[in-house]
Structure 1
Amino acid sequence: MVDGGGGASDLLVIFGITGDLARKMTFRALYRLERHQLLDCPILGVASDDMSVGQLVKWARESIGRTEKIDDAVFDRLAGRLSYLHGDVTDSQLYDSLAELIGSPPPPPPPPPPPPPGPVVLPAR
């Protein structure tokens, strides 16, 4: 995927990769992007289901195959991009694991707002 600035994305993270929306639409969309050679980054699926990457790949193939004729070469390229992280989106440990996995620390908290401006004193002339 290409960002608005013309650079490549480092990683596409998809939360809920084992859900109904992913089964019906997301995998098909990813497959079509791969078929048109518009994907150029790894894909990390995140969900609460405890499964392996192999199980995710099988799930993706079944999902795509419901409505698409699968070209094995295209699907193999897509499957090679997939990885999986199991976790609960309401648990902060998931985000710590995600940050560790992608190699960056969690973002720092935002700075406090600046104090309100004081009175303006103009020099005498």
Structure 2
Amino acid sequence: MTYLAFTTEGAPGFFRRFERRYRAFGGTEFHCIAADDPRLAEAAGSGRRDAIAIIHSSDVVYLSGGNTFYYLWNLRRSGLLPALRRFADRGGVLAGLSAGAILATPYIGLAAYPEFDRDENE
């Protein structure tokens, strides 16, 4: 299982919780990638290629919550977005929470509602 954090900030703590939760359900192999710096991928080596290889070798990629617009921008900038599309097209399981779930839809405008709690789009 791969935890794809929207940012490096706080990712280690959220990843540890993710791993603990899914290990209890029988998960055995876990990786963490941060969309804003995929060089920090926790697996064999570092760098964008390794992050993409991690995605393609996973059974499940879990997209974390966060700022939807910032998340999408970083996925595009890092080259991870096409890797996620290929992963899903080949039958890989994409799961997500909040922003991560919204990113799996065709339209992310939902992240701007309600106005008092919307993600900022800088």
TM class by shorter-chain length? 0.3 to 0.5
**Pair member with larger Rg:** 1
TM (norm. structure 1) is 0.33
- The structure where helix makes up a greater share of residues is 2
TM (norm. structure 2) is 0.33
